[in-house]
Chains A and B, each alone.
Chain A
Amino acid sequence: MLSFTLKRIAQLIPVFIGATLLVYFLVFATPGDPIAALSGGKPMTPATEAALRAQYNLDQPFWIQYGLYLKNLVTFDLGMSFSGQPVADLLGRAFPVTARLAILALLIEGVFGIIFGVIAGMRKGKFFDSTILVASLIVIAVPTFVLGFVLQFVIGVKLEWAKPTVSGAATWSELILPAMVLGLVSLAYVIRLTRTSVIENKSADYVRTATAKGLSRNRVVRVHVLRNSLIPVVTFLGADLGSLMGGAIVTEGIFNVPGVGNLLYRAILKGETPTVVAVVGVLVIVFVLANLIVDMLYALLDPRIRYA
């Protein structure tokens, strides 16, 4: 188990370097002189300009810039944003907000997705099943930002059940509505995945044995059907954590959540390389770690799987 974990963490390194290099290169190639943008279009003395360029290493060729960036990264120095704030501070403020948002979304997805999926799967072809199937298809087909606007308008503005936008503090309760929007599409996938998996497993031999030896239906469903149906669902949820944090760009924009997505979106438009690369790097790490955790959960769910 330990060597497996270490091997997987070692695999993280090339993915991390590759992804940051790719993003660094893309942002490097983006036009617009960040220094000119910094001065707000006002003329600058050549000396000031040269000093600023040297400060952000903008006078160096691409490979040196990226090398210097990696070198600083090892000492946990993420560089400075063009407005003079350390990127680590910006990230430190935005990351917990998005993490809260993504965890809430993941909870909504996991809990409701699995419950609805199991009920639909156990009653295949019945009314509840058909309704859930149609509803999940519709949710998948409607773009997230349309869902976001409609829910914000109906729940936030018309019904006033929740605040339509999030304050700077971004507390858990404020984030429930954005998390619902963020998790809704994946919720539909989780329901469909659980349903398929349950249908496959409910006619398995061990389920019949469990029923035959007189276990209650509740126990058969919970312990025998559900546990065996969870592997594809857990895989999906793990991979989804990464995309939820990346997909938060749209949701955070709609609900004005001061999270990573907002930070990233503004940094991309400004061409602020250190911020963009740092945020993407963190997202990549979250993505790979989430997948690692999923691989370890496999062994818990299915004792037949062992990691040597």
Chain B
Amino acid sequence: MPENQNFNSEAGLPVNRRAGKVSKYKMEHYVAPLDETPLQAVDSVKETGKPLSMWAEAWRSLRKQPLFIISAILILAVIIVAAFPQWFTSQDPTYCALENSNEPGREGHIMGFNLQGCDIYSRVIYGTRASLLVGIFTTLIVIIVGGTIGALAGFYGGWIDTILARLGDIFFALPLILGAIIVMQLPAFRENKSVWTVIITLAIFGWPQLARITRGAVIEARNADFVKASRSLGLSKFKSLVKHVLPNSLAPIIVVATVNLGVYIVAEATLSFLGVGLPPEIMSWGNDIASAQTQLRNNPMMLMWPALFLSVTVLSFIMLGDAVRDALDPKARKGA
């Protein structure tokens, strides 16, 4: 059916577009000829199976996307490295001999040595854990706190919304890094510097953004017909929020959270670079880059390797977020 094809094709040339418009008009009156779908095809559809949910459909389109496959493999690799660094290097990253200071790479030490004579490769491998922990746990806390606050504000509206919006405004006006530096100076944080203080600090300034996005998504879902139906069938307000509104506003939250995971890893590195992040005894990419800056002229590789690992990790989370967005947004899927 030529009209049918025109209708599906993305309008490229003006001529096509006109044809598309005409066929769109016809589509309203269009009745499929009986022979278009053979009867066997109708019979062969399993009726017992559940209809595909939005997530199953998204998964089906994700599986075919090269962007998703590449980023998923990279992220999986990073997680394995973070969990079992000893599988990837036999060197002790804390064994440093000054005689090796700034030595170039050689057998068994492919990336060479840093100023203190430590093996750069093993430090990069063992540094993965701190960066990844910060990224994952900050994201989790931000989703729980920001998501809850945003959902309550969007769903109940009224004075709760007003207060939370103003509170969010105040935190929003303080840039992440700036606020984080100030919080990291607090006694409770400065004296117990660890991965956890960095996570909590980043979460304090990270939640307003997610709360806003959740609020918007919840407001959109709140007015959907199926939510109104569930309410008129007697479901309590809170139950309809948990059962119907939240599952239907998850998509933008997941996308933003995935991309932000990378942003938090960069923020941790930036804080460590400024000297207020992780304590120097914790091996992390941020600390290694920070200590490499003074050696940039003598040994640029000392900066490049941890920076490369960090960037590739962040890049894979951003790509994953992009791929998930494309999969969850049916409009984008049709256009592709």
Q: A interface vs B, CB < 8 Å? A: 14-15, 18-19, 22-23, 26-27, 29-31, 137-138, 140-146, 149, 153, 157, 203, 208, 211-212, 242-243, 246-247, 249-250, 253, 264-265, 268-269, 271, 276, 280, 283-284, 287-288
Contact = CB atoms under 8 A, between A and B. Distances in A.
Nearest to B293: A149
Interface stretch (B38-46, B105-113, B165-173): B165-173
A23 B318 contact: no
B237 to A, nearest CB: 29
Nearest to A30: B185
21 contacts: A14-B169, A18-B166, A19-B173, A19-B174, A29-B186, A30-B185, A137-B315, A141-B266, A142-B314, A143-B310, A144-B266, A146-B311, A203-B17, A208-B17, A246-B174, A246-B178, A253-B274, A268-B182, A283-B173, A283-B178, A287-B173
B182 A144 contact: no
Given A146-B289, A243-B175, 14 more contacts: A18-B166, A18-B169, A19-B174, A29-B186, A31-B190, A137-B318, A138-B315, A140-B318, A203-B10, A246-B174, A249-B177, A250-B273, A265-B274, A271-B185
A142 B313 CA distance: 10
Nearest to B273: A145
Contacts, number: 120
Given A15-B169, A137-B318, A242 B14 contact: no
Contacts of A243: 175
A276 B175 contact: no
B187 interface: yes
A144 B187 CA distance: 28
Nearest to B170: A18
A149 B303 contact: yes
Contacts of A143: 266, 269-270, 273, 289, 307, 310-311
Contact of B175 (A18, A146, A149, A242): A242
Nearest to B184: A268
List 10 A-B pairs, minimum CB-CB distance, nearest first: A246-B175, A18-B170, A141-B315, A141-B314, A31-B187, A284-B173, A146-B307, A141-B311, A246-B178, A142-B311
Chain B binding surface, main DSSP class: helix
Contact of B312 (A141, A247, A250, A264): A141
Contacts of A138: 311, 315
B170 A19 contact: yes
B136 to A, nearest CB: 17
B185 A242 contact: no
A155 to B, nearest CB: 13
Nearest to A279: B178
Pick the most buried of B169, B293, B315, B318: most chain A CB atoms within 10 A of its CB: B169
A137 B319 contact: yes
B262 interface: yes
